[in-house]
Amino acid sequence: MARILVIDDEPGIRDVLSILLKDEGHEVRVAEDGSVGLRLAADFAPDLAITDLVMPGQEGIETIARLRKDHKDIKIVAISGYASRGHDYLRTAKVLGASATVAKPIDYDTFLPLVRDILARR
């Protein structure tokens, strides 16, 4: 299966995503912000990074740009709860190279098939 890095400042979301993805057979690492995520990515070499966009410390937009620069083949899913509040974070993430975007609250019934689809892409 795949190596997946989950970056989110909300422990509950990190925990749920980690459990769901491990149940799918993936190897999962978690980080509470983008700077920690980038350090983990350097050693872990994930196939997929799932990152929140609005976090204290290093936010997701900068994290996506750095992941895209340092890990050319990585697939990225950007998640944000600010999509419904008039912010364009998800659109910006897509422009910077996110493979897909997901608005919070996450619908886990559609999230896992999305992850499967993204990982199947070459």
Q: What is the pLDDT of residue 76?
A: 97
In whole angstroms, how far apart are CA 15 and each of 8, 34, 90, 120?
10, 17, 22, 24
pTM of the model: 0.92
pLDDT tens profile 5-39: 999 999 999 999 999 999 999 999 999 999 999 99
User: For the chain, how many structural domains are there in total?
Assistant: 1
Provide the CATH number for the domain around residue 74.
Answer: 3.40.50.2300
Determine the structural domain holding residue 40 and report its residue range.
Answer: 3-120
Q: Are strands 3-7 and 27-31 parallel, antiparallel or unpaired?
A: parallel
- Interatomic CA distance for residues 83 and 17, integer angstroms: 19
pLDDT of residue 55: 87
Q: Which residues of the chain have a pLDDT value below 50?
A: 86
What is residue 86's predicted lDDT score, i.e. its pLDDT?
A: 46
DSSP, residue by residue, 22-38: HHTT-EEEEESSHHHHH
Q: Which helix (H) or strand (E) holds 116?
A: helix 108-120
pLDDT of residue 87: 57
Residue 58 confidence (pLDDT): 84
